[in-house]
Amino acid sequence: MKKIRILAIESSCDETAIAIYCSEKGLISNLIYSQIKLHQVYGGVVPEIASRNHLTKITHLVEKSLLEAKIGLKEITHFAYTQGPGLAGSLLIGASFAKSLAVFNRTPILPIHHMEGHLVAPMLENSSLNFPFLTLLISGGHSMLVVAKKMGDYQILGESRDDALGEAFDKVAKMMGLGYPGGAKLSKLASECKKSKYTFPRPMINHDSLDFSFSGLKTHALQTYEMSKKTKSEKIQIARAFEEAIIDVIIAKTTKAMELTGLNKLVVSGGVSANLPLRNALTHKFGSQFVYFPRLSLCGDNAAMIAYAAYLRLKEFKNYAFEEDKKINIQPRWSIEDID
Ligand code: KG4
Ligand code: ZN
Protein backbone atom coordinates (compact mmCIF):
# COMPACT_ATOMS: atom_id res chain seq x y z
CA MET A 1 0.00 0.00 0.00
CA LYS A 2 1.47 3.39 -0.88
CA LYS A 3 1.83 6.12 1.72
CA ILE A 4 -1.51 7.23 3.08
CA ARG A 5 -2.28 10.48 4.85
CA ILE A 6 -5.86 10.87 6.02
CA LEU A 7 -7.26 14.17 7.28
CA ALA A 8 -10.38 13.52 9.36
CA ILE A 9 -13.08 15.86 10.63
CA GLU A 10 -15.29 15.11 13.63
CA SER A 11 -18.16 17.52 14.25
CA SER A 12 -21.05 15.34 15.46
CA CYS A 13 -21.75 17.24 18.67
CA ASP A 14 -19.94 20.04 20.49
CA GLU A 15 -16.31 19.33 19.65
CA THR A 16 -14.71 20.50 16.42
CA ALA A 17 -11.87 18.05 15.94
CA ILE A 18 -9.30 17.56 13.17
CA ALA A 19 -6.67 14.83 12.98
CA ILE A 20 -4.20 13.54 10.42
CA TYR A 21 -3.15 9.89 10.37
CA CYS A 22 -0.13 8.81 8.35
CA SER A 23 0.39 5.14 7.39
CA GLU A 24 4.11 5.44 8.16
CA LYS A 25 4.27 7.82 11.12
CA GLY A 26 0.91 7.23 12.81
CA LEU A 27 -1.00 10.16 14.26
CA ILE A 28 0.76 13.34 13.11
CA SER A 29 -1.88 15.84 14.22
CA ASN A 30 -4.74 15.73 16.69
CA LEU A 31 -6.64 18.92 17.52
CA ILE A 32 -9.82 19.24 19.53
CA TYR A 33 -11.67 22.47 20.06
CA SER A 34 -14.36 22.04 22.70
CA GLN A 35 -17.34 24.41 22.60
CA ILE A 36 -18.45 23.33 26.04
CA LYS A 37 -18.13 26.80 27.62
CA LEU A 38 -20.68 28.16 25.12
CA HIS A 39 -23.25 25.52 26.07
CA GLN A 40 -22.67 25.44 29.82
CA VAL A 41 -24.91 28.43 30.51
CA TYR A 42 -27.80 26.51 28.92
CA GLY A 43 -27.11 23.31 30.89
CA GLY A 44 -26.78 21.23 27.73
CA VAL A 45 -25.77 21.34 24.07
CA VAL A 46 -27.79 23.81 21.97
CA PRO A 47 -27.74 22.41 18.40
CA GLU A 48 -27.96 25.78 16.64
CA ILE A 49 -25.05 27.22 18.65
CA ALA A 50 -23.05 24.04 18.03
CA SER A 51 -23.35 24.16 14.24
CA ARG A 52 -22.63 27.89 14.03
CA ASN A 53 -19.53 27.43 16.14
CA HIS A 54 -18.23 24.52 14.06
CA LEU A 55 -18.53 26.83 11.09
CA THR A 56 -16.44 29.58 12.66
CA LYS A 57 -13.68 27.23 13.88
CA ILE A 58 -13.27 24.61 11.20
CA THR A 59 -11.14 26.47 8.61
CA HIS A 60 -8.63 27.65 11.17
CA LEU A 61 -8.41 24.19 12.75
CA VAL A 62 -7.72 22.47 9.42
CA GLU A 63 -4.95 25.00 8.71
CA LYS A 64 -3.52 24.51 12.19
CA SER A 65 -3.65 20.74 11.84
CA LEU A 66 -1.65 20.83 8.58
CA LEU A 67 0.89 23.08 10.29
CA GLU A 68 1.13 20.70 13.24
CA ALA A 69 1.67 17.77 10.86
CA LYS A 70 4.14 19.88 8.83
CA ILE A 71 2.53 18.97 5.52
CA GLY A 72 0.60 20.76 2.79
CA LEU A 73 -3.00 20.16 1.77
CA LYS A 74 -1.81 18.49 -1.46
CA GLU A 75 -0.06 15.79 0.57
CA ILE A 76 -3.35 14.59 2.02
CA THR A 77 -4.31 11.40 0.19
CA HIS A 78 -7.80 10.90 1.69
CA PHE A 79 -10.35 12.86 3.65
CA ALA A 80 -12.69 11.34 6.24
CA TYR A 81 -15.58 12.76 8.21
CA THR A 82 -18.15 11.69 10.77
CA GLN A 83 -21.30 10.95 8.79
CA GLY A 84 -23.42 10.15 11.86
CA PRO A 85 -24.98 9.63 14.30
CA GLY A 86 -25.11 13.12 15.80
CA LEU A 87 -26.67 16.55 15.51
CA ALA A 88 -27.77 17.15 11.91
CA GLY A 89 -26.58 20.76 11.67
CA SER A 90 -23.21 19.93 13.21
CA LEU A 91 -22.67 16.88 11.02
CA LEU A 92 -23.46 18.97 7.93
CA ILE A 93 -20.61 21.39 8.64
CA GLY A 94 -17.99 18.61 8.88
CA ALA A 95 -19.42 16.69 5.93
CA SER A 96 -19.62 19.66 3.59
CA PHE A 97 -16.18 20.96 4.58
CA ALA A 98 -14.59 17.52 4.05
CA LYS A 99 -16.34 17.09 0.74
CA SER A 100 -15.25 20.50 -0.51
CA LEU A 101 -11.65 19.72 0.40
CA ALA A 102 -11.82 16.33 -1.31
CA VAL A 103 -13.35 17.74 -4.49
CA PHE A 104 -10.80 20.56 -4.59
CA ASN A 105 -7.91 18.18 -3.86
CA ARG A 106 -9.25 15.43 -6.17
CA THR A 107 -8.89 12.84 -3.43
CA PRO A 108 -11.23 10.08 -2.23
CA ILE A 109 -13.42 10.69 0.80
CA LEU A 110 -14.55 8.24 3.50
CA PRO A 111 -17.72 8.72 5.57
CA ILE A 112 -17.28 7.21 9.06
CA HIS A 113 -19.72 6.09 11.76
CA HIS A 114 -18.99 7.97 15.00
CA MET A 115 -19.36 4.85 17.18
CA GLU A 116 -17.06 2.82 14.92
CA GLY A 117 -14.54 5.58 15.63
CA HIS A 118 -14.95 5.10 19.40
CA LEU A 119 -14.74 1.33 18.89
CA VAL A 120 -11.36 1.43 17.12
CA ALA A 121 -9.86 4.20 19.32
CA PRO A 122 -8.05 1.74 21.66
CA MET A 123 -6.47 0.04 18.61
CA LEU A 124 -4.56 3.22 17.77
CA GLU A 125 -2.08 2.51 20.54
CA ASN A 126 -2.46 -1.25 21.00
CA SER A 127 -1.09 -3.00 17.96
CA SER A 128 -1.77 -6.38 19.63
CA LEU A 129 -5.52 -5.78 19.69
CA ASN A 130 -7.29 -7.64 16.86
CA PHE A 131 -10.88 -8.55 16.00
CA PRO A 132 -13.05 -10.21 17.26
CA PHE A 133 -13.72 -8.63 20.65
CA LEU A 134 -16.54 -7.48 22.88
CA THR A 135 -17.04 -3.70 23.08
CA LEU A 136 -18.62 -1.64 25.78
CA LEU A 137 -19.48 1.72 24.20
CA ILE A 138 -20.49 4.25 26.85
CA SER A 139 -20.91 7.91 25.99
CA GLY A 140 -23.28 10.83 26.42
CA GLY A 141 -25.56 9.49 23.69
CA HIS A 142 -25.06 5.70 23.74
CA SER A 143 -24.57 2.76 26.10
CA MET A 144 -24.19 -0.60 24.44
CA LEU A 145 -22.50 -3.95 24.40
CA VAL A 146 -21.41 -4.83 20.89
CA VAL A 147 -19.71 -7.85 19.37
CA ALA A 148 -17.11 -6.53 16.94
CA LYS A 149 -16.55 -9.45 14.55
CA LYS A 150 -14.45 -7.57 12.04
CA MET A 151 -14.21 -4.06 10.63
CA GLY A 152 -17.76 -2.97 9.77
CA ASP A 153 -19.41 -6.12 11.16
CA TYR A 154 -21.01 -5.35 14.49
CA GLN A 155 -23.81 -6.95 16.49
CA ILE A 156 -25.52 -5.12 19.34
CA LEU A 157 -26.10 -7.48 22.28
CA GLY A 158 -27.70 -4.95 24.56
CA GLU A 159 -28.23 -1.22 24.91
CA SER A 160 -29.81 1.33 27.19
CA ARG A 161 -33.59 1.35 27.10
CA ASP A 162 -33.69 4.95 28.32
CA ASP A 163 -30.92 7.35 29.37
CA ALA A 164 -27.41 6.78 28.04
CA LEU A 165 -24.85 6.31 30.81
CA GLY A 166 -23.16 9.69 30.28
CA GLU A 167 -26.56 11.35 30.13
CA ALA A 168 -27.51 9.84 33.53
CA PHE A 169 -24.20 11.06 35.01
CA ASP A 170 -24.79 14.51 33.55
CA LYS A 171 -28.35 14.82 34.84
CA VAL A 172 -27.44 13.84 38.41
CA ALA A 173 -24.44 16.16 38.31
CA LYS A 174 -26.53 19.05 36.98
CA MET A 175 -29.09 18.64 39.75
CA MET A 176 -26.32 18.85 42.35
CA GLY A 177 -25.13 22.10 40.79
CA LEU A 178 -21.95 20.64 39.30
CA GLY A 179 -22.59 22.19 35.87
CA TYR A 180 -22.59 20.60 32.43
CA PRO A 181 -21.25 18.10 31.44
CA GLY A 182 -20.83 16.88 35.00
CA GLY A 183 -19.86 13.19 34.62
CA ALA A 184 -16.20 13.71 35.50
CA LYS A 185 -17.05 16.18 38.30
CA LEU A 186 -19.58 13.79 39.83
CA SER A 187 -16.97 11.03 39.79
CA LYS A 188 -14.40 13.33 41.41
CA LEU A 189 -16.88 14.07 44.18
CA ALA A 190 -17.56 10.34 44.61
CA SER A 191 -13.83 9.72 45.02
CA GLU A 192 -13.95 11.64 48.33
CA CYS A 193 -15.60 8.67 50.05
CA LYS A 194 -14.73 4.98 49.92
CA LYS A 195 -18.15 3.49 50.63
CA SER A 196 -21.46 5.31 50.61
CA LYS A 197 -23.96 5.16 53.46
CA TYR A 198 -26.62 4.76 50.73
CA THR A 199 -27.29 1.69 48.62
CA PHE A 200 -28.96 2.56 45.32
CA PRO A 201 -30.87 0.09 43.12
CA ARG A 202 -28.97 -1.83 40.43
CA PRO A 203 -31.48 -1.67 37.53
CA MET A 204 -31.88 -4.83 35.43
CA ILE A 205 -28.83 -6.43 37.05
CA ASN A 206 -30.48 -9.86 37.19
CA HIS A 207 -32.47 -9.42 34.00
CA ASP A 208 -31.86 -12.04 31.30
CA SER A 209 -31.36 -9.44 28.58
CA LEU A 210 -28.13 -7.50 28.17
CA ASP A 211 -29.99 -4.20 27.99
CA PHE A 212 -29.39 -1.43 30.50
CA SER A 213 -31.72 1.07 32.14
CA PHE A 214 -30.31 4.08 33.96
CA SER A 215 -33.30 6.37 34.19
CA GLY A 216 -34.75 4.84 37.41
CA LEU A 217 -31.35 4.97 39.10
CA LYS A 218 -30.97 8.60 38.07
CA THR A 219 -34.43 9.41 39.53
CA HIS A 220 -33.54 7.56 42.73
CA ALA A 221 -30.40 9.71 43.06
CA LEU A 222 -32.42 12.87 42.36
CA GLN A 223 -35.04 11.99 44.98
CA THR A 224 -32.42 11.08 47.58
CA TYR A 225 -30.77 14.44 46.98
CA GLU A 226 -34.08 16.32 47.24
CA MET A 227 -34.79 14.70 50.60
CA SER A 228 -31.27 15.23 51.95
CA LYS A 229 -29.78 18.33 53.60
CA LYS A 230 -28.05 19.04 50.28
CA THR A 231 -24.68 19.51 52.01
CA LYS A 232 -21.38 18.70 50.33
CA SER A 233 -21.05 15.53 52.40
CA GLU A 234 -24.51 14.39 51.25
CA LYS A 235 -23.55 15.10 47.65
CA ILE A 236 -20.41 12.99 48.09
CA GLN A 237 -22.43 10.08 49.55
CA ILE A 238 -25.00 10.24 46.75
CA ALA A 239 -22.37 10.53 44.02
CA ARG A 240 -20.56 7.50 45.45
CA ALA A 241 -23.75 5.40 45.76
CA PHE A 242 -24.70 6.31 42.18
CA GLU A 243 -21.29 5.38 40.82
CA GLU A 244 -21.18 2.14 42.86
CA ALA A 245 -24.55 1.05 41.42
CA ILE A 246 -23.43 1.83 37.87
CA ILE A 247 -20.17 -0.07 38.23
CA ASP A 248 -21.99 -3.14 39.60
CA VAL A 249 -24.46 -3.13 36.70
CA ILE A 250 -21.75 -2.66 34.07
CA ILE A 251 -19.61 -5.45 35.55
CA ALA A 252 -22.59 -7.85 35.72
CA LYS A 253 -23.78 -7.19 32.16
CA THR A 254 -20.29 -7.28 30.69
CA THR A 255 -19.51 -10.55 32.47
CA LYS A 256 -22.72 -12.04 31.10
CA ALA A 257 -21.85 -10.85 27.58
CA MET A 258 -18.35 -12.36 27.81
CA GLU A 259 -19.81 -15.69 28.91
CA LEU A 260 -22.48 -15.64 26.23
CA THR A 261 -20.11 -14.87 23.37
CA GLY A 262 -17.07 -16.77 24.62
CA LEU A 263 -14.97 -13.71 23.79
CA ASN A 264 -12.18 -12.88 26.21
CA LYS A 265 -11.10 -9.46 24.93
CA LEU A 266 -12.99 -6.37 26.01
CA VAL A 267 -12.71 -2.91 24.48
CA VAL A 268 -14.19 -0.06 26.52
CA SER A 269 -14.62 3.28 24.80
CA GLY A 270 -16.66 6.51 24.64
CA GLY A 271 -16.65 9.49 27.03
CA VAL A 272 -17.60 7.49 30.16
CA SER A 273 -14.68 5.10 29.62
CA ALA A 274 -12.60 7.92 31.16
CA ASN A 275 -14.24 7.07 34.51
CA LEU A 276 -11.35 5.80 36.64
CA PRO A 277 -13.29 3.68 39.20
CA LEU A 278 -15.01 1.95 36.29
CA ARG A 279 -11.70 1.39 34.48
CA ASN A 280 -10.22 -0.05 37.67
CA ALA A 281 -13.21 -2.31 38.35
CA LEU A 282 -13.21 -3.69 34.79
CA THR A 283 -9.44 -4.24 34.83
CA HIS A 284 -9.68 -5.95 38.21
CA LYS A 285 -12.52 -8.18 37.04
CA PHE A 286 -11.19 -9.26 33.62
CA GLY A 287 -7.42 -8.77 33.95
CA SER A 288 -5.32 -5.97 32.48
CA GLN A 289 -4.19 -8.11 29.52
CA PHE A 290 -7.80 -8.59 28.37
CA VAL A 291 -9.26 -5.08 28.77
CA TYR A 292 -8.41 -2.26 26.39
CA PHE A 293 -9.18 1.44 26.88
CA PRO A 294 -8.20 4.44 24.80
CA ARG A 295 -5.81 6.80 26.54
CA LEU A 296 -7.81 9.34 28.56
CA SER A 297 -7.54 12.11 25.95
CA LEU A 298 -9.06 9.81 23.30
CA CYS A 299 -12.04 8.60 25.37
CA GLY A 300 -14.26 11.55 24.44
CA ASP A 301 -14.98 12.84 20.96
CA ASN A 302 -11.93 13.33 18.77
CA ALA A 303 -10.94 13.08 15.12
CA ALA A 304 -8.00 10.71 15.67
CA MET A 305 -10.47 7.84 16.04
CA ILE A 306 -12.25 8.90 12.82
CA ALA A 307 -8.96 9.06 10.90
CA TYR A 308 -7.92 5.67 12.25
CA ALA A 309 -11.28 4.05 11.42
CA ALA A 310 -10.86 5.39 7.87
CA TYR A 311 -7.34 3.94 7.72
CA LEU A 312 -8.53 0.51 8.91
CA ARG A 313 -11.32 0.60 6.31
CA LEU A 314 -8.81 1.32 3.55
CA LYS A 315 -6.67 -1.58 4.71
CA GLU A 316 -9.59 -3.99 5.12
CA PHE A 317 -11.66 -3.20 2.05
CA LYS A 318 -9.41 -3.22 -0.98
CA ASN A 319 -12.21 -2.15 -3.30
CA TYR A 320 -13.55 0.48 -0.96
CA ALA A 321 -16.55 2.22 -2.51
CA PHE A 322 -15.57 5.85 -2.12
CA GLU A 323 -18.24 8.48 -2.11
CA GLU A 324 -17.92 9.89 -5.57
CA ASP A 325 -21.03 11.96 -5.92
CA LYS A 326 -20.98 15.58 -4.88
CA LYS A 327 -24.04 15.24 -2.66
CA ILE A 328 -23.53 15.86 1.05
CA ASN A 329 -24.59 12.74 2.94
CA ILE A 330 -25.19 12.71 6.67
CA GLN A 331 -26.97 10.17 8.88
CA PRO A 332 -28.03 11.79 12.18
CA ARG A 333 -29.71 8.54 13.29
CA TRP A 334 -27.67 5.52 12.32
CA SER A 335 -27.25 2.18 14.08
CA ILE A 336 -23.78 0.68 14.27
CA GLU A 337 -25.33 -2.54 12.93
CA ASP A 338 -26.30 -0.76 9.71
CA ILE A 339 -22.80 0.23 8.61
CA ASP A 340 -21.89 -1.04 5.12
O1 KG4 B 1 -18.10 10.31 23.88
P2 KG4 B 1 -18.43 11.65 24.45
O3 KG4 B 1 -17.31 12.67 24.55
O4 KG4 B 1 -19.57 12.34 23.65
C5 KG4 B 1 -20.64 11.64 23.10
O6 KG4 B 1 -20.48 11.10 21.97
O7 KG4 B 1 -21.64 11.55 23.81
O8 KG4 B 1 -19.06 11.41 25.92
C9 KG4 B 1 -19.40 12.47 26.77
C10 KG4 B 1 -19.98 11.92 28.05
C11 KG4 B 1 -20.61 13.02 28.92
O12 KG4 B 1 -21.88 12.58 29.32
C13 KG4 B 1 -19.65 13.11 30.11
O14 KG4 B 1 -20.24 13.55 31.31
C15 KG4 B 1 -19.18 11.69 30.22
O16 KG4 B 1 -18.98 11.29 28.88
N17 KG4 B 1 -17.94 11.57 31.00
C18 KG4 B 1 -17.84 10.91 32.19
C19 KG4 B 1 -16.50 11.05 32.61
N20 KG4 B 1 -15.82 11.78 31.68
C21 KG4 B 1 -16.71 12.08 30.68
N22 KG4 B 1 -18.76 10.24 32.91
C23 KG4 B 1 -18.36 9.69 34.07
N24 KG4 B 1 -17.09 9.78 34.55
C25 KG4 B 1 -16.13 10.44 33.86
N26 KG4 B 1 -14.88 10.51 34.34
ZN1 ZN C 1 -18.84 10.21 21.11
Where residue 320 falls among pLDDT bands split at 50, 70, 90? Answer: confident
Among residues 270, 174, 190, the alpha carbon closest in space to that of 236 is found at: 190
How much of the chain, in percent, has pLDDT values that exceed 70?
A: 99
pLDDT tens, position by position, 161-177: 999 999 999 999 999 99
- Ligand minimally distant from the alpha carbon of residue 32: 1
Angle made by CA atoms 303, 183, 297, in degrees to the nearest 5: 30
How much of the chain, in percent, has pLDDT values that exceed 90?
A: 95
pLDDT tens, position by position, 105-137: 999 999 999 999 999 999 999 988 999 999 999
- The C-alpha torsion from 148 through 151 and 153 to 154, rounded to 10°, is 30
Is it the case that residue 324 has pLDDT exceeding 80?
A: no
Is it the case that residue 326 has pLDDT exceeding 80?
A: no
Average pLDDT of the segment spanning 320-332:
81
| Position with higher pLDDT, 328 vs 160 | 160
Alpha carbon distance 80, 93 (integer Å): 13
**Cα 293 to ligand 1 centroid, rounded to whole Å:** 14
Cα within 13 Å of Cα(329), Cβ side: 13
The residue count of the chain comes to: 340
**Cα 163 to ligand 2 centroid, rounded to whole Å:** 15
Are 126 and 291 within 8 A, CB to CB? no
Q: Does the C-beta of 158 come closer than 6 Å to ligand 1? A: no
pTM for the complete prediction? 0.97
Q: Report the nearest atom of ligand 1 relative to the CA of 164.
A: 12
Residues 6+ apart with CB under 8 A from 207: none
pLDDT tens, position by position, 24-49: 999 999 999 999 999 999 999 999 99
Q: Report the nearest atom of ligand 1 relative to the CA of 173.
A: 14
